[in-house]
Chains A and B, each alone.
Chain A
């Protein structure tokens, strides 16, 4: 379901609602049909024209296009607003003129459609329709130029009545004359009344329109059903209208005037075919009732001022000289052509509307002595005396061909307000006080006809729709933001400087390079890392297995001369021990390196046992005591050492270096119980031991350089002359080497790994685990060395080959 956003509160509403469900504001504006209210194609040149002039232009437009099908009733320019309303007035029933007396003030005077108000007055009239009133009504409702054409015959037959002049003051005579025109057509039957001569009772331009309409009727057969009612009604009312008597443009006007036609026919025309307002004005000078006849000072300015223009007509007229490029209204052109075509002698003043005759008489006025024409109104005479002569002398050609300058006349009519803007000094001089318009007359004033474009523009935009249509300067009901506006045209091109363009280029290059994979040199991929690993493992396992399974001893043990000094020092120190000397042995290695450590320490411990030393086992690693027990009971099982008698396992010393330092200072307190849970200090191995310096030797078996260093740092300085020897893993030897030396060294002797153990075995002359692993170790080492050499050679050749390829490339 679509929604309509309220122009007042901005909230959405269903589209079927007439009013906003939130604020009760009208959602759908009261739109006057554009065909009726606005001209289809407004001409810019007509911007300053009043509605009635524009509508007349549109009325004439179809007549120019005689052969076009647009001349159908639907497109008939007679659909103009004021005409339609006038048509409706004609259809309306009794006309009440009393409302005019009751409410003469019209608040909608600014609406511009002043004819509508006249019709409203007719609608509100309470009195029964009287023919006289009706005739007077139309005297005031229609401009004189309209009523004049039809009034001329009627004026000859019907005398003017006082009631009929009620609106004479309210409406210009040219309107009343125009209004009375169809009335005469109704009053005078076609068979009885003499058919008016073309150009005599009907203006030429109307006659031309009639002729065109007649031709259209002949050429185009219009279906009766397609005709609008007003047109059909007019046809019924006038079955045989003659083109001369019935202007096709105002059929409804004829119908509206029908009830009053007879009365109008009997009414006496004004003297010498003068307009009603002229005649009434003339009568009012004698004995006119003030109540029914407006005074001169009540007349609107635009009606009175022309008389005052005579003071300075030359100042205003030249300013209002129309642009020759402006297109003349068609009807005016035709009228002008008709006037030009007719010889001056043939055109009688009675056959020409007053306002036109006055204009035509201007050249004559300029040459002929001033003799007031009885049919010429005063304001035309004034214009003829002062303003027109200026035009005739300046703008019109002396040949008299352009006697009737419609452009100038139009501007003259259009700028009537301009004519009255300058306060005529002559009027004041003549004793004529400036008139004050009554409210009702001010309301009836055709504001739009007198308002120029500039004032309209200053007042703001004219409301086009709704009840305020036609009013200008009205506050907008819709917020400005709710109005549909064309989006501002913004430039889509960025103003980018050269520096910014350079930055963009650099940034774009960076982005492009980001998306591209960096070219990397293909790594030298060995056929398979797994294969290489498999090959290495295979060769090692094969060599080791072959040696172990074969229990070969191809590789000779290191000779005695090649035994390291530290090994020899160790052997000599052990040889210096007496039987049952207490020796502290530290097993500080992990189970993972037990194989190496056992092989390295087997010969040394075996030598100690051979020497009959009592062993006290200790460890700073939790797994050390168990490994010590395993070593004594398994590796050295041949010596049949028993716990508590030849050796004692004190177990684990917690705290690392701190615990080791405490054990050095207070051995009995730190290790009150043995690993087996008994008091070790009463056993033979610890008999007479109260400090570590009481031991004859301290042997540290470790695979950890830090533990070895802790023993060296914490224990060696406090054991005084007790030698410290170490059996370490091969990986610890480089680190402990600085501590190993001669007599002044911290470590008196050291056996490192399988190689040291085998060397020690050579010193002692007794094979042990070192010799068992010796062949396997040497073959595996040679295999590793061979693999390293082969790998190195392959790498060298690959590098040379690569450099050669680069050189060739």
Chain B
């Protein structure tokens, strides 16, 4: 890709991308105007873009167009959904916010039900089944590690202790050992997560440097070298 075979929009997009990349990388010198300017632009552009996408991709096709072009049943359904949507607008005013509570209650209730149902049937049961099935495979070691890791990690968050008469509450030594093992698994998990975050960030940096070098190599250097 060279500047010659690039349209103006792409060229402007590349220039803007290059500039804002430099602005963001200027943070290595500390907080400065260029960094703040770039972050503000990104935040504003993302919000504006999200609004436009919502309008053109949600409101118009699912609310306006059914009212305008939909059938009677579709209009009735749309109006029945429009009313609670308008009541949600009352949440803007603190004085009228109670009007939007029913619609908000429906949304929260539905969201909670979806999350709970998905968690039970999409995570807990399948994970329990997968943990059991690990031993059905021939990889006993992997299954054992998964079982020990899961068991010890859950016991790590067990804070009950036995209290004898006239003695201070004490945790059994075996529980302490299990908790220590669980803590080790948690530490390894956090290490893996940190490594994944670091790799993701490092990849983003590499991608940006690659973009910069590509921009320079294909646009700046040909122009500079003639």
Question: Whose C-beta in chain B lies nearest to the C-beta of A774?
Answer: B206
Check A776/B199 contact, CB under 8 A, given A657-B111, A658-B110, A716-B122.
Answer: no
Contact residues of B between 40 and 99, Cβ < 8 Å to A: 46, 49-50, 53-54, 56-58, 60-62, 65
B residues in contact with A731, CB < 8 Å: 193, 196-197, 199-200
A residues in contact with B56, CB < 8 Å: 677
Whether A473 is near chain B, meaning CB under 8 Å from some CB there, is no
Q: Which of B57, B121, B123, B127 has the most CB of A within 10 A?
A: B57
Bound: A537/B220 CA distance, A: 25
Whether B167 is near chain A, meaning CB under 8 Å from some CB there, is no
Whether B126 is near chain A, meaning CB under 8 Å from some CB there, is yes
Q: Contact: B129 with A744, CB < 8 Å? A: yes
Q: Contact: B53 with A652, CB < 8 Å? A: yes
Whether B209 is near chain A, meaning CB under 8 Å from some CB there, is yes
Whether A14 is near chain B, meaning CB under 8 Å from some CB there, is no
Q: Contact: A754 with B50, CB < 8 Å? A: no
Contact of B111 among A541, A625, A658 (CB under 8 A): A658
Whether A254 is near chain B, meaning CB under 8 Å from some CB there, is no
Interface pick from B112-120, B156-164, B173-181 = B112-120
Bound: A729/B203 CA distance, A: 10
Interface pick from A136-144, A149-157, A232-240, A588-596 = A588-596
Q: Contact: A544 with B118, CB < 8 Å? A: no
Bound: A710/B122 CA distance, A: 9
Chain B proximity mask over A585-607: 1 for CB below 8 Å, otherwise 0? 00000011111101100000000
Bound: A729/B206 CA distance, A: 15
Check A596/B204 contact, CB under 8 A, given A545-B209, A731-B193, A731-B199.
Answer: yes
Shortest beta-carbon distance from A729 to chain B in Å: 5
Q: Contact: B200 with A596, CB < 8 Å? A: yes
Question: Whose C-beta in chain B lies nearest to the C-beta of A709?
Answer: B123
B residues in contact with A661, CB < 8 Å: 114, 118
B residues in contact with A730, CB < 8 Å: 195-197, 199-200, 203
Check A784/B57 contact, CB under 8 A, given A549-B213, A714-B122, A744-B130.
Answer: no
Contact of B205 among A540, A713, A755 (CB under 8 A): A540
A residues in contact with B218, CB < 8 Å: none
Bound: A545/B214 CA distance, A: 12
Shortest beta-carbon distance from A632 to chain B in Å: 15
Q: Contact: B49 with A622, CB < 8 Å? A: yes
Question: Whose C-beta in chain B lies nearest to the C-beta of A757?
Answer: B203
Interface pick from A219-227, A432-440, A734-742 = A734-742
Bound: A533/B28 CA distance, A: 8
A residues in contact with B54, CB < 8 Å: 622, 652, 654
A residues in contact with B198, CB < 8 Å: 784
Q: Contact: B111 with A672, CB < 8 Å? A: no
Whether A158 is near chain B, meaning CB under 8 Å from some CB there, is no
Shortest beta-carbon distance from A654 to chain B in Å: 5
Bound: A480/B102 CA distance, A: 78
Bound: A768/B123 CA distance, A: 34
Q: Contact: B204 with A593, CB < 8 Å? A: yes
Whether A548 is near chain B, meaning CB under 8 Å from some CB there, is yes
Q: Contact: A776 with B111, CB < 8 Å? A: no
Q: Contact: B206 with A595, CB < 8 Å? A: yes
Check A626/B200 contact, CB under 8 A, given A709-B123, A744-B129.
Answer: no
Whether A98 is near chain B, meaning CB under 8 Å from some CB there, is no
Bound: A738/B61 CA distance, A: 38
A residues in contact with B127, CB < 8 Å: 738-739
Bound: A234/B123 CA distance, A: 137
Chain B proximity mask over A522-548: 1 for CB below 8 Å, otherwise 0? 000000000001100100110011001
Contact of B202 among A598, A651, A741, A777 (CB under 8 A): A777
B residues in contact with A672, CB < 8 Å: 61-62, 65
Whether B7 is near chain A, meaning CB under 8 Å from some CB there, is no
Q: Contact: A548 with B199, CB < 8 Å? A: no
Chain B proximity mask over A622-636: 1 for CB below 8 Å, otherwise 0? 110110000000000
Check A652/B57 contact, CB under 8 A, given A672-B62, A729-B200, A741-B130.
Answer: yes
Bound: A688/B37 CA distance, A: 48
A residues in contact with B209, CB < 8 Å: 541, 544-545, 548, 776
Whether A360 is near chain B, meaning CB under 8 Å from some CB there, is no
Check A658/B114 contact, CB under 8 A, given A731-B193, A738-B127.
Answer: yes
Q: Contact: A753 with B207, CB < 8 Å? A: no
A residues in contact with B189, CB < 8 Å: 734
Whether B5 is near chain A, meaning CB under 8 Å from some CB there, is no
Bound: A734/B196 CA distance, A: 8
Shortest beta-carbon distance from A666 to chain B in Å: 11
Q: Contact: B137 with A777, CB < 8 Å? A: no
Contact of A733 among B61, B119, B196, B205 (CB under 8 A): B196
Whether A789 is near chain B, meaning CB under 8 Å from some CB there, is no
Q: Which of A544, A594, A622, A753 has the most CB of B within 10 A?
A: A622
Q: Contact: B114 with A652, CB < 8 Å? A: no
Chain B proximity mask over A546-578: 1 for CB below 8 Å, otherwise 0? 001100000000000000000000000000000
Check A623/B46 contact, CB under 8 A, given A595-B208, A657-B115.
Answer: yes
Whether B210 is near chain A, meaning CB under 8 Å from some CB there, is yes
Whether B15 is near chain A, meaning CB under 8 Å from some CB there, is no
Check A732/B61 contact, CB under 8 A, given A545-B209, A709-B123, A712-B123.
Answer: no
A residues in contact with B123, CB < 8 Å: 709, 712-713
Q: Contact: A780 with B206, CB < 8 Å? A: yes
Shortest beta-carbon distance from A150 to chain B in Å: 114
Shortest beta-carbon distance from A536 to chain B in Å: 10
Whether B133 is near chain A, meaning CB under 8 Å from some CB there, is yes
Q: Contact: B196 with A753, CB < 8 Å? A: yes
Q: Contact: B58 with A776, CB < 8 Å? A: no
A residues in contact with B118, CB < 8 Å: 657, 661, 710, 713-714
Shortest beta-carbon distance from B190 to chain A in Å: 9
Shortest beta-carbon distance from A679 to chain B in Å: 10
Q: Contact: A753 with B53, CB < 8 Å? A: no
Question: Whose C-beta in chain A lies nearest to the C-beta of B192?
Answer: A734
Whether A198 is near chain B, meaning CB under 8 Å from some CB there, is no
Whether A656 is near chain B, meaning CB under 8 Å from some CB there, is yes
Q: Contact: B137 with A623, CB < 8 Å? A: no
Contact residues of B between 151 and 171, Cβ < 8 Å to A: none
B residues in contact with A670, CB < 8 Å: 62
Whether A746 is near chain B, meaning CB under 8 Å from some CB there, is yes
Q: List 13 A-B contacts (CB under 8 A).
A: A533-B28, A548-B209, A595-B207, A625-B57, A657-B115, A661-B118, A673-B60, A714-B118, A732-B196, A746-B126, A773-B203, A777-B199, A780-B202
For the A-B complex with A746-B122, A753-B200 known, give 17 more contacts whose Cβ atoms are closer than 8 Å.
A544-B206, A591-B46, A595-B203, A595-B206, A657-B115, A658-B110, A672-B61, A717-B121, A730-B195, A730-B196, A733-B192, A753-B196, A754-B203, A773-B203, A776-B209, A776-B210, A781-B199
> Which residues from chain B sit less than 8 Å from chain A, CB to CB?
28, 46, 49-50, 53-54, 56-58, 60-62, 65, 110-111, 114-115, 118-119, 121-123, 126-127, 129-130, 133, 137, 189, 192-193, 195-200, 202-211, 213
> Which residues from chain A sit less than 8 Å from chain B, CB to CB?
533-534, 537, 540-541, 544-545, 548-549, 591-596, 598-599, 622-623, 625-626, 651-652, 654, 656-658, 661, 670-673, 675, 677, 703, 709-710, 712-714, 716-717, 729-735, 738-739, 741-742, 744-746, 752-755, 772-773, 776-777, 780-781, 784
